[in-house]
Chain A
Amino acid sequence: MNLEFTEAELAFQREVRAWFEQHVPAALKARAAIGVMSDKAGQHGWEEILGSKGWLAVGWPAQHGGPGWTATQRYIFDLERARAGAPPATPFGISMVGPVIYTFGTPDQKAQHLPGIVNGKVHWCQGYSEPNSGSDLASLKTAAVRDGDHYVVNGQKIWTTQGHWADWCFCLVRTDSTVKQQLGISFLLIDMKTPGIEIRPIHSIDGHHHLNEVYFTDVRVPVANLVGSEGMGWTIAKFLLTHERTTIAGVADSKREIERLRGMLQATKQTDANGKEGSRWDDAFARRRVAELEIELAALEYTNFRTVAATEEGKPLGAESSGLKIKGTELQQAITQAMVELGGHLSLTWNAPQPVGSEAFNHAHERYNFLRAATIYGGTNEIQKNVIAKMLLGL
């Protein structure tokens, strides 16, 4: 048993840290320092910088444009990325449709779509959920009816993150209503500029626009955009769920955020009841809260290490890594909650004209309100527990 990085891994860490120091735009670092999410230009600009270095599609095999890193290297990269104040890459192209296309796609589909994902210039969104099909995704109704060389798509998707920023959408559509639900679903790639697509914004409680409704009215999609064969959509969607688990726990960002919370407490003035001037860090209850978050993080971090190590030995853990999504998102919520609560009144301001006491605390409710969705998206934590229970009990 050995918990240290190898010499080669440490050298890799130094290389990556130095590169991040040079290349993360100051504007991105400034936003990360106060807990404000990137805007479109910031996020996409950053992904192009990573893409031009060949460090965007980090989990991809070398033959498809990935850097050929081990699971440990990918973990180190993510750690350094978060430490440097850079946001994680948008997952839809890199972690979702890209692996689908290089696994199930035709040579033409690979040639058409993979380069734009790898270099960060083409942006994707995910058309899965519908108003009546969230956890019960298999009940989806958006239909794709064959008409000559096209599918004609009619229906509505919802919770489409960055649909308003996307060039393409990968969509689960119903091509057969006569068979068992899962067997009638297909995986279709849709150009967001196709006539008949209407995007309506959904405003989130964090004050920002991430989510959308996407309406499809007689949208004609070339048959060549079908991935796999008709009826393979559910199989492909399940493949996505088991793919690439090394960052699902969000260890790197949680580690960075707890350190940022420490800094926020140390930098925010507090005068005690006796008139002694100090900082929020003088409050032992605040410090205890930070300690307890760090202890929770350690448990998650070392469980994540075990997953990474097992992946490298060729043995991905089963139910064990599903627990990482549950625990990882709960920790994200605990950290952001602590940030809001420990700021007192300073955490209640909403776009005040000047910073009040601590700009970071002033913005704390944004990440907190946004991350209420963490236990809901990617398969609600309750559904995750159903899945794990089935693995444990076989009932």
Chain B
Amino acid sequence: MDFRISDEQRMLDDSAAKFLAGQFTFDLYRKQLDAGVAFDEKRWAAIAELGWLALPFPESVGGFGGTLVDIQLIARRLGERLCTDPWLACAVLPGKALEFAGAPAALALLEKIVSGETRAALGAYEAASHYEPAVIATRATAAAAGGVTLNGTKSVVFGAEYAQVYLVTARDEKGDALLVAVPANAAGVSASHYRVLDGSRASEIMLANATLPADAVLARGEAALEAVRRALDVANAAVCADLLGAVGAMLQKTQDYARTRKQFGVAIGTFQVIQHYLVDMFIEVQQSESLVWMAGIRGDTAERNEREKAVSTTKAYLARAAVQVAQKAVQIHGGIGVTEELDIGHYFRRVTHYAQMFGDRDAHVQRYMRVTQ
């Protein structure tokens, strides 16, 4: 049993930390937030240069064949730096759905994501589906020459504003699930974009008689659902790593604050209640880290039960623990903890967002129960 990362992973991690420290400051984050923007073309090119678009995917599509832990190492640094660039939303999540769908059309599109030519976004949810990808109201009816006509709305699609292609789920007249590639500029396709809690962007994708050719259907039936489920599990493992990075940063900042902020003539870190809060936070971060790596190793599998158990254990735990750490961090900062001006409140919103994106504690406890009971 060995929890050490390899030298290669250490280099990946160090370079991610360095890149983000230089390229994604809190100042830049605030400017983007105020401008209603969560993407920068030059920085996306830099991310591609770093190899982050290739890392998660197999060599057969031009990727580097990286592991789930590799993905988590990058995700942790993103959380640590409050980075809203849509690497997870526009590369990792849709890319994994394509990889696991596996059909030639899917892999051809994945190659374009890996090369940086295309960004995609996965529309797997609707307003009434509450985390369950199998709940699909969007309808696919047969069109000419094996094509499909789509009607429905995919909801809270993260990163869609910056994507050229949407991967959407629909059900056909037989009730089979379909995974369909929909170009953002196709006829019958419109989107409304908005900010989400962590400062990034999401969209409603409206499909009104949007007709797509046969080769836009990337997967059908159980294979389509499993590709989406497995991609979401990868995303959740990354989300947990992002949460770890964020609460790690919040803990560090709160320790620093407790050491330097003085009241009653002494550092507030000398007050026992504050000390015990910090210790509680520290312990939760340590335990969270243990499960993040467990999910990275045990969740990196096609075997559904093992994967879901590992990912749900971790997400259920982090969803509680990270939120508690974030809440205490704000509390210890006092008044400034709830201002826009300080970064702590922004980390707080990110933690809330990530703790329930792709499944909250309740959803994952219940999935854990389904798998283990």
Contact = CB atoms under 8 A, between A and B. Distances in A.
A385 B275 contact: yes
A188 to B, nearest CB: 34
Given A1-B5, A299-B317, A323 B278 contact: no
Interface in A325-359: 326-327
Given A298-B294, A299-B290, A2 B275 contact: no
Given A1-B296, A1-B297, A392-B255, A306 B282 contact: no
Contacts of A5: 1
Contact of A393 (B259, B296, B317, B321): B259
A308 interface: yes
Q: Of A3, A295, A296, A394, which is in contact with the most chain B CB atoms at under 10 Å from its CB?
A: A295
Chain A at the B interface: SS class:
helix
A232 B190 CA distance: 78
Given A388-B282, A393-B258, A395-B269, A287 B316 contact: no
Given A323-B282, A385-B279, A3 B259 contact: no
A298 B317 contact: yes
B287 A305 contact: no
Interface string B240-255: 0000000000000001
Given A287-B369, A320-B286, A295 B316 contact: yes
Interface in A185-205: none
B231 to A, nearest CB: 22
B368 interface: yes
Interface in A278-301: 284, 287-288, 290-292, 294-296, 298-300
Contacts of A240: none
A323 B293 CA distance: 18
A305 B286 CA distance: 12
B2 interface: yes
A302 interface: yes
A382 interface: yes
B12 interface: no
Contacts of B293: 1, 3, 302
Interface band, chain A: 35 or more
User: Which of A2, A294, A319, A386 has the most B CB atoms < 10 Å from its CB?
Assistant: A294
A253 B181 CA distance: 51
Contact of A309 (B3, B279, B287, B366): B3
Contact of B3 (A1, A292, A319): A1
Contacts of A2: 1-2, 297
A303 B1 contact: no
B339 interface: no
B214 interface: no
A229 B352 CA distance: 56
A299 B319 CA distance: 13
Contacts of A388: 279, 282-283
Interface of A: 1-5, 72, 284, 287-288, 290-292, 294-296, 298-300, 302-303, 305-306, 308-310, 313, 319-320, 323, 326-327, 382, 385-386, 388-389, 392-395
A-B pairs, 3 with minimum CB distance = A389-B275, A302-B290, A323-B283
26 contacts: A1-B69, A2-B2, A2-B297, A3-B294, A3-B298, A72-B1, A288-B369, A291-B372, A292-B316, A294-B313, A294-B372, A295-B365, A298-B313, A299-B290, A299-B321, A302-B287, A302-B290, A302-B293, A309-B1, A323-B283, A385-B280, A388-B282, A392-B278, A392-B282, A393-B259, A393-B275
Interface of B: 1-6, 69, 255, 258-259, 267, 269-270, 272, 275-276, 278-280, 282-283, 286-288, 290-291, 293-294, 296-298, 313, 316-317, 321, 365-366, 368-369, 372-373
Given A287-B373, A327-B287, 20 more contacts: A1-B296, A1-B297, A5-B1, A288-B365, A288-B369, A291-B365, A298-B294, A299-B290, A302-B290, A302-B291, A302-B294, A303-B290, A310-B3, A323-B279, A323-B283, A327-B283, A385-B280, A388-B279, A395-B259, A395-B267
